A and B are shown apart, each in its own frame.
Chain A
Amino acid sequence: MKLLHADTAATQPQDLQTLVLANDADPRTLTLDGVVRIDLHFPSFTDGRAHSQAFLLRRRLGYQGEIRATGDVLVDQLPLLSRNGFDAAVLRADQDLAVAERQLARFKSHYQGDAVVPRPRFVQAA
């Protein structure tokens, strides 16, 4: 997962191939042809709507480009983000990259499937 720091990352979309999505939008209504980056926004880290958007983009729609988390993005949410199909996150300015890496490394596998590993553990193990 690409971790970007708020004060170094260009948080503004740079070209027409980037899509910025409000967190109440249904990604299934979009045309994704030619889109290489989609920014999903967390107005607060406790607002989980963008998690479902990412899942739908990555898993349901098979979108292959970058999915970037923006807004109130904290290190403790990174394990969720990466499993839901985000592959880039712009961390809030006060977040510590070393702590972030530690959170991402902790759990090696999970019970349920997700956007990246679609099948649950009980099917993988079988």
Chain B
Amino acid sequence: MYQYTDFDRQFVRLRAEQYRDQLERHLAGQLGNEEFRPLRLQNGWYVQRHAPMLRVAVPYGELSSAQVRVLAKIAREYDQPGNEVFQGAIAAQNKLGDIQLRDGKAIGSRLTTGYAHFTTRQNVQFNWIPLDKSADVMDLLATVGMHGIQTSGNCIRNITSDALAGIAVDEVADPRPFAEILRQWSTLHPEFAFLPRKFKIAITGAREDRAAIAWHDVGLQLLRNAEGTLGFKVLVGGGMGRTPVIATTIREFLPCDQILNYTEAVVRVYNRWGRRDNKYKARIKILVKAEGQRYIDEVEEEFRQIVERDGAPHTITAAEFERVSANFVPPTLTCDRKSADAKIAHILKAAAEDDVEFGRWLQRNVSAHKNPDLRAVTLSFKRLGQSPGDATAAQLDAVAELAERYSGGEVRVTHQQNLVLPWVRCDQLAELWREARHLGLAKPNIGLLTDMIACPGGDFCDLANARSLPLAEAITARYQDLDELHDLGEIDLHISGCINSCGHHHSGHIGILGVDKDGKEWYQVTVGGSDGKILSGDPVPGKVIGPSFSAHEVPDVIEALLDTYRAQRQDGEHFIDTLRRVGSDPFKQAGQQARHDTGHEAATA
């Protein structure tokens, strides 16, 4: 992974120093809330429902074990609210009530402290750090080259990529050198710090889109043209929120060394033309939709002027590309595959329980690798008792150790809120599985129903209309039978607590969206969304199956949708295939039939 130079390290330290200066002026009353707000946001500091939230940047998802240990330390020592804050939060959440389940159980808010949360944009969040300690945390992060630069605010955000970047078997070229070069170019860009709205870039180098690039403000896909030259397909104007839009391809092929110059043109036209009168119409997707070809023409003209009049100053030189690429040379690992096969066979022949579980883990959590001696292993952070993507300090420390012993000291945060160990030797799979299982991180559910995406929702987020986490827990609890889970097969369940769509409900095969009606929590359910990966098909937002449901009804509605799939499916069909073949009507009907007879008022009382 990318190794920081002295310049990079000093830059992050200066940023931490600048933030401390701003925080101190704020705490001294010299910098008002409104003026401090964009400054703290551009360092990753929100003020949420109960406490501040920190979003730490993880550029394209890559973390070293040393960085994971610092995240563990922050979770342990700083993700700790004062008693008054915590008791106040519990009291506020208790007022929201429990979700009553069919079997008589009830699930409510369960606020926890001392942990980190992995986000769909491959970042890491903390929910309880007091603001007066925020500058100390930035200093601590800076010791391992970490920060919260541009993880929020109306600027170019942290750049995301395929969690299998550089190791995927279907890769045209490794996107990480370009992601890193883009990270550096966008870091503290003076012209683009106050855009009309946030600006998200995703980049993939693979044939299959595992980075949901069409759902981003800018989506980049590496490809080779007929002459074999490496370049980018450039998509602009995708986004979720209240107006889901699939990005428009504005360049079928851009030579790869021009990506900074071209992105500069894309963002400059947006900065000049994007709407600033209405924040719901300020994203670039609205501009691209409104202006269409006129926007594209203006970008091309601006790009031409950058090249011809400005002299294309940000053309990526061969020397710089080589310098950055040298950081991404794979570790030289080999293994004795004969012994690996023997070890795997030995476990599969051992106790029946291990046989099934290890076999399933190999199938679900272990991915193919460019290097035939290696595998990528996904550690599942989707298990009963902890919210999707949550990791305690002790788990983070354990992950750091696993990464060191089994994965060249590297771990990656995935878009699906899990962690990937990218460099695992085949002959160590069995040992890794045993240890991961011991840590509760070997649930063989990757890609399955319980590997759901969920935002923090109404338990933490100030924007949320409804809670995501109790629903996630209710559905996880209902589908604990691994036989059933594997029989249901691959399915994307995405839960957002509000229309801002951090839980990507638009792109779920089943999407759940929290809405607010009369101050109560309600949920809209959609089916048929796609993030753009092969299983899901061309990217498209899901369709609503009817009026919203009460929280108590949602687990039953999900069950009804899954039962409909099981009743209708043909051989080998996934949920999404059946849905596309038979249409959404049977699913809509099943959803409506799952409404409770007691009526909504009774159900929410």
Listed in ascending order, the chain A residues whose CB lies under 8 Å from chain B are 24, 26, 45-49, 51-52, 55, 59-60, 74, 76, 79-80, 83-84, 96, 99, 102-103, 106-107, 109-114, 118-123, 126
Contact of B185 among A45, A46, A111, A126 (CB under 8 A): A111
Asked whether, in the complex, the Cβ of B313 is within 8 Å of the Cβ of A49, the reply is no
Measured between beta carbons, the chain A residues less than 8 angstroms from B309 are 60
Measured between beta carbons, the chain B residues less than 8 angstroms from A107 are 11, 14, 18, 188
List the A residue with the shortest CB-CB distance to B193: A80
Measured between beta carbons, the chain A residues less than 8 angstroms from B187 are 111-112
Contact of A119 among B191, B313, B323 (CB under 8 A): B313
Measured between beta carbons, the chain B residues less than 8 angstroms from A106 are 14, 17-18
Interface of A, helix, strand, loop or mixed by DSSP: loop
Q: Least Cβ distance of B182 to chain A in Å?
A: 10
Instruction: Provide 17 A-B residue pairs closer than 8 Å at the C-beta atoms, listed in order of the A residue.
Output: A46-B38, A48-B154, A48-B194, A49-B276, A51-B191, A51-B194, A52-B191, A55-B268, A59-B310, A79-B190, A83-B190, A84-B190, A84-B191, A112-B260, A113-B313, A122-B323, A123-B317
Q: Least Cβ distance of A108 to chain B in Å?
A: 9
Q: How many residues of B contact A (CB 8 A)?
A: 42
Q: Least Cβ distance of A73 to chain B in Å?
A: 12
Q: Least Cβ distance of B455 to chain A in Å?
A: 25
Asked whether, in the complex, the Cβ of B317 is within 8 Å of the Cβ of A126, the reply is yes
Asked whether, in the complex, the Cβ of A114 is within 8 Å of the Cβ of B190, the reply is yes
Q: How far is the CA of A117 from the CA of B193 in the complex (A)?
A: 18
Asked whether, in the complex, the Cβ of B271 is within 8 Å of the Cβ of A46, the reply is no
- Taking A60-B310, A112-B184 as contacts, is the C-beta distance between A46 and B194 under 8 angstroms? yes
Asked whether, in the complex, the Cβ of A110 is within 8 Å of the Cβ of B188, the reply is yes
User: 13 other contacts beyond A47-B276, A51-B190, with CB at 8 A cut-off?
Assistant: A51-B191, A51-B192, A51-B271, A80-B193, A83-B190, A84-B191, A106-B14, A107-B11, A111-B187, A120-B260, A120-B313, A122-B184, A122-B320
Q: Least Cβ distance of B367 to chain A in Å?
A: 33
List the A residue with the shortest CB-CB distance to B268: A52
Q: How far is the CA of A31 from the CA of B59 in the complex (A)?
A: 44
Listed in ascending order, the chain B residues whose CB lies under 8 Å from chain A are 7, 11, 14, 17-18, 21-22, 25, 30-31, 35, 38-39, 154, 184-195, 260, 268, 271-272, 276, 305, 309-311, 313-314, 316-317, 319-320, 323
List the B residue with the shortest CB-CB distance to A117: B313
Measured between beta carbons, the chain B residues less than 8 angstroms from A123 are 313, 317, 320
Measured between beta carbons, the chain A residues less than 8 angstroms from B186 are 112
Q: Least Cβ distance of A75 to chain B in Å?
A: 9
Q: How far is the CA of A73 from the CA of B194 in the complex (A)?
A: 13
Q: How far is the CA of A46 from the CA of B41 in the complex (A)?
A: 12
Q: How far is the CA of A120 from the CA of B7 in the complex (A)?
A: 14
Q: How far is the CA of A111 from the CA of B30 in the complex (A)?
A: 30
- Taking A49-B271, A51-B190, A122-B320 as contacts, is the C-beta distance between A102 and B21 under 8 angstroms? yes
Asked whether, in the complex, the Cβ of B195 is within 8 Å of the Cβ of A48, the reply is yes
Q: Least Cβ distance of A8 to chain B in Å?
A: 20
Q: How far is the CA of A29 from the CA of B319 in the complex (A)?
A: 38
Asked whether, in the complex, the Cβ of A48 is within 8 Å of the Cβ of B192, the reply is yes
- Interface core residue of B35, B268, B271 (most chain A CB under 10 Å): B35
List the A residue with the shortest CB-CB distance to B267: A52
- Taking A60-B310, A107-B14 as contacts, is the C-beta distance between A122 and B188 under 8 angstroms? no
Contact of B272 among A26, A103, A114 (CB under 8 A): A26
9 nearest CB pairs, A to B:
A48-B194, A83-B190, A122-B320, A111-B184, A80-B190, A51-B191, A113-B313, A52-B271, A112-B185
Asked whether, in the complex, the Cβ of B188 is within 8 Å of the Cβ of A48, the reply is no
Asked whether, in the complex, the Cβ of B154 is within 8 Å of the Cβ of A46, the reply is yes
